[in-house]
Structure 1
């Protein structure tokens, strides 16, 4: 086992484009630990609601930042960073790279003033190995002993005094979920920060200098390349602190797992949980989203219009602010209840300990596309809404896995696309509209599977197929306060970061609709066909001729569908100047107009053209909010690449469906 030395002097300040990891006048504390040791619970406890989410510089790895009040000298707050869970600082994945870089202050991350290493009482060996690697990096260290109660249930009792003596640093036993022991840990951290921050805990001089270090008695070996010495030290400390391994004890978590991990009962329970998540993202969220939409559209928008009218503002100013900016804000706010519900639901599953069991049960099915069972959650949620499905990718352990799933989620067919399927199916496949909709959902599953196989052999060749190895945490009662605080931080991150993209784009679309290019119309009062938006749509129409729907009405609807698929039907109605049908299954005049258009553009094969339009709607970018969330999570380069792939695949499939359909 070896640890890489820092590649140069530590940065003198934060350099993250997403915002500073910590301000220079506040100490920086990092929480380091293996997965499922209570690190995130401790972070939520010490920070409360004072936290935010950013991406590590140049990566898709999320870091949670918070303020630990009163722990720094003079009663000042310290900035706390919850690092990704890792078993080693020998980086093999992007998450481990970020954790290793954060400990040493590399890759644009500020060097921490203190590392709090969490040691799991019931699994000291793997925790001590990580602790030794942190110490070898020359970072000031204190330790927190967690999951003491879980270890006791299994007959393991760790002697805290002996552990502190062997490590040579203060050790505070804590119960992150209940908060017991956190005050003692706070005192330990405060005392360590009050001492000279330039002197690492048990290892003496600054990082990178292995010569002349004075170790504490029985401390970890200072040479990170001496694997035998490290393993011997870990084994010696483990036996001194916890004694020989106890006889196996059957806990109530073990009894529950006999049922929940058994195929006969585990699969039905998993399906029930996934069904509940799907219902949450559709039936439960819909009334809340509608209420926000009504509040903005029928409450706030008329009020702003009245105020602008009373101020004698020009009509175009009213249109820009109400139909552009306010419409964008309303779109973002409409998704807030959905995102909040999904964040809370996923946190409940994670905090209770069931999420790891769900991954185990679903693992065999997910192996079809080269992923492990943890990917099942985002895909199922995606059929309810792609936006929270992207948020659910945070349950995956590695950044490359999250990225791959995030690229595939847009091909899960959300209910917003259903209105388009129903409209086209009712007009062009009367009597078989239900079958047409079913085929589209089947095509969605095939897109995800085939897309996953292709991506695994191209852009994600480095994603190794590894067996799923999980350390199953004990079942525990979820903590409402911590869950709500974490959900609030993530919703706020979505609103402030993804929301900007939505508002700016919708405002730009309003400007295109407002600019007249023909007919002598006034700015802000122009028919769609004579606007810049209409001309752009007309210019795009020839690209869809091989797919049988090369008409500006169809291309305008698809451009509008980039904002939200549920407005495609309304866009058709607006461009044809007919009433929007209350039920897409009974399209009325709009159906007649669509049939006449596709009859003309398809050369007499309107059914094939309609099928091609449905396939394009399935395969291209789901909605602007999803794109904004992808950019927030994965960065601009991957988002633009994903949009390009989706458009290319959608066009190829639509052309193929039409050309084959026209021959049949």
Structure 2
């Protein structure tokens, strides 16, 4: 039987609810197979106590009376002798030491064109999991390279079922299901077979293991002939070229930037309009019908619904970026992009795969954090996730334009350009500091990639994966955003001075205004220790695009349609900075711009960091950003005063 043929296994009797794990090397088709088996019945979780992302789902088998299987897509690994947090999670899960419990069966994906490294992992997994089924993948790619693995011979040599599957088309998944169900049923009957691997060898006998792998590969036709050039090889002559590959990479990254800005903006506005228009109107009408008090109207409309609108507006952006990154990964280009960008990213001790999140970050920090999932190791994802907020997004640009046009009208373009230069410098210097302190364990290794063959992305699998990740954002990060924005409204609505009613109070007499007045002295060394500026910065923690509006609100003037034509608002800000800086308003304005660049980008970004990396890292990151922002602002102001 050749690699592209499958032998059906016998149907199985009733099962309890077994745990099945998918094990395999990176880029072997694990996630695609997971999506094909689970459809939309999946969710994204973090392994307990780590920042390693897992996908879990329900595999509904078609066997009579068979219940749904629990299926977990484990991180890709080359060995269960873990060298990274991702491999450690996989090793723990296979060995039953993780929070998932001991697996009842492991489906080990074996790449037909790379049997050697796949069989090495299979032998390790089979020593720890009682039942194993092999899913033989990428048979078509292997045939293009002159390799046609005999699946029947491989099954005979391994002593376990071997099922050729094509995860992208779903071909072979029915046979895989029957093999899994039959193997689980055999486990219930007490039958057992020796695990694949060298017979009689000690578990740590590496030489015996490699000799066994080499023997199996030769016996089943897994040795590739020399001199075979595929279509992928010919394309790589261009995309991996040291000169030609760079403009292609720049074009792809520019497209991602455009997707995160120009393409996503109208969709975000449309969704926000639905919440602000029909939904808000319906809620308002309902409240008026029952004669609800003004404070309840404000709480529900300006607090809860504002939070819902913020979350909903980000959904198109997140979905677009999830799809774009998944397409690049699925088609095989992402690995090539990492190879081309590797030299540039070595400046901060990362490899080329970190380029994508940073590029996306200049469009929006939120999807940039989501793009960190393309990095292979949890510690790398965490490091990049801590640096992404320092990539200056377009929301900050409105603040730069306002202040640059007011204080540096003759050099506004240069001032804004310098903010982007400062952003890049912050990322590089921050990366160097983190690598020398908290991330000393990140060993700088040469970039070694197994380049996958170019393939056509599968829309159904992309849709299932995108929906699972968007749903995870909605249920986790969304809750944080809605609750926080509701708290912000309460702070604005609660009076602490005068005879004001709840929900009808000037900003300066609200709890929010008093908090801003308390924060203002801390900002005095930077030259903008005024409660108006402090209130705008506190609001900017929610979203940078509302800083200009917050300044207009606290000054009780109209918000300018064009920040460059600031009008009354610009005059008020200039007068405030003139007083708070002791006659050095330009230095104070520059310090304010630097503070906006360096401190926490927005609430949505914080919520996504919380979802991906947990509370401890997120709160530490927010604290570090505030400290760096204050120190830089003070330094810029002091230097500006001297100049």
Both structures adopt the same fold (TM-score exceeding 0.5): yes
After superposition, where does 1:43-442 map in structure 2 within 5 Å?
A: 43-70=34-61, 74-197=65-188, 202-203=193-194, 223-242=202-221, 244-442=223-421
* Structure 1 residue 298 displacement after superposition: 2.1
SS at match of 1:476: coil
Partner of 1:545: 524
Alpha-carbon contact 2:115-2:222 (below 8 Å) kept: no
* Structure 1 residue 121 displacement after superposition: 0.7
- CA displacement 1:248-282 (0-9 Å, x = unmatched): 31000000000110022100000000000000000
After superposition, where does 1:446-525 map in structure 2 within 5 Å?
A: 446-525=425-504
* Structure 1 residue 199 displacement after superposition: 5.8
Alpha-carbon contact 2:198-2:209 (below 8 Å) kept: no
Partner of 1:207: none
Cα separation, 1, equivalents of 2:301 and 2:391: 32
Partner of 1:12: none
* Structure 1 residue 72 displacement after superposition: 7.2
- CA displacement 1:170-204 (0-9 Å, x = unmatched): 1101111111111111110111122335969634x
Cα distance 1:243–1:332, how it changes in 2: closer, same or farther (>3 A)? closer
* Structure 1 residue 598 displacement after superposition: 0.3
Cα separation, 2, equivalents of 1:174 and 1:220: 28
Structure 1 stretches lacking a partner, 5+ long: 1-23, 204-214
Alpha-carbon contact 2:35-2:464 (below 8 Å) kept: yes
Cα separation, 2, equivalents of 1:142 and 1:380: 40
Alpha-carbon contact 2:59-2:68 (below 8 Å) kept: yes
- CA displacement 1:595-624 (0-9 Å, x = unmatched): 000000000000000000000000000000
Q: Which moved more, 1:108-117 or 1:561-570?
A: 108-117
Is 1:562 matched with 2:562?
no
- CA displacement 1:442-464 (0-9 Å, x = unmatched): 10000000100010000000000
1:28 to 6, 19, 25: 19
* Structure 1 residue 73 displacement after superposition: 7.2
Alpha-carbon contact 2:201-2:208 (below 8 Å) kept: no
SS at match of 2:439: coil
Cα separation, 2, equivalents of 1:201 and 1:416: 61
Q: Which moved more, 1:234-243 or 1:462-471?
A: 234-243
* Structure 1 residue 228 displacement after superposition: 1.7
Alpha-carbon contact 1:73-1:193 (below 8 Å) kept: no
Cα separation, 1, equivalents of 2:446 and 2:191: 38
Alpha-carbon contact 2:246-2:340 (below 8 Å) kept: yes
Cα separation, 2, equivalents of 1:386 and 1:286: 14
Cα separation, 2, equivalents of 1:187 and 1:98: 28
Partner of 2:607: 628
Alpha-carbon contact 2:338-2:353 (below 8 Å) kept: yes
Partner of 1:13: none
TM-score by length of 1: 0.93
* Structure 1 residue 222 displacement after superposition: 5.8
Partner of 1:653: 632
Alpha-carbon contact 2:80-2:121 (below 8 Å) kept: yes
Cα distance 1:627–1:530, how it changes in 2: closer, same or farther (>3 A)? same
- CA displacement 1:299-325 (0-9 Å, x = unmatched): 211221111111111111111011111
Cα separation, 1, equivalents of 2:148 and 2:300: 64
Cα separation, 1, equivalents of 2:33 and 2:586: 59
Alpha-carbon contact 1:174-1:185 (below 8 Å) kept: yes
Runs of 4+ deviating beyond 3 Å: 197-203, 218-222
* Structure 1 residue 26 displacement after superposition: 2.3
Cα separation, 1, equivalents of 2:477 and 2:199: 45
SS at match of 1:31: strand
Partner of 2:9: none
SS at match of 2:409: coil
Alpha-carbon contact 1:71-1:77 (below 8 Å) kept: no
Partner of 1:610: 589
- CA displacement 1:566-587 (0-9 Å, x = unmatched): 0000100110111111111111
Cα distance 1:649–1:455, how it changes in 2: closer, same or farther (>3 A)? same
Partner of 1:573: 552
Partner of 2:511: 532
SS at match of 1:379: helix
- CA displacement 1:492-520 (0-9 Å, x = unmatched): 10000000000010011111111100011
* Structure 1 residue 297 displacement after superposition: 1.2
- CA displacement 1:530-552 (0-9 Å, x = unmatched): 00000001000000000000001
Cα separation, 2, equivalents of 1:127 and 1:583: 59
Cα separation, 2, equivalents of 1:432 and 1:661: 15
Cα separation, 2, equivalents of 1:85 and 1:305: 50
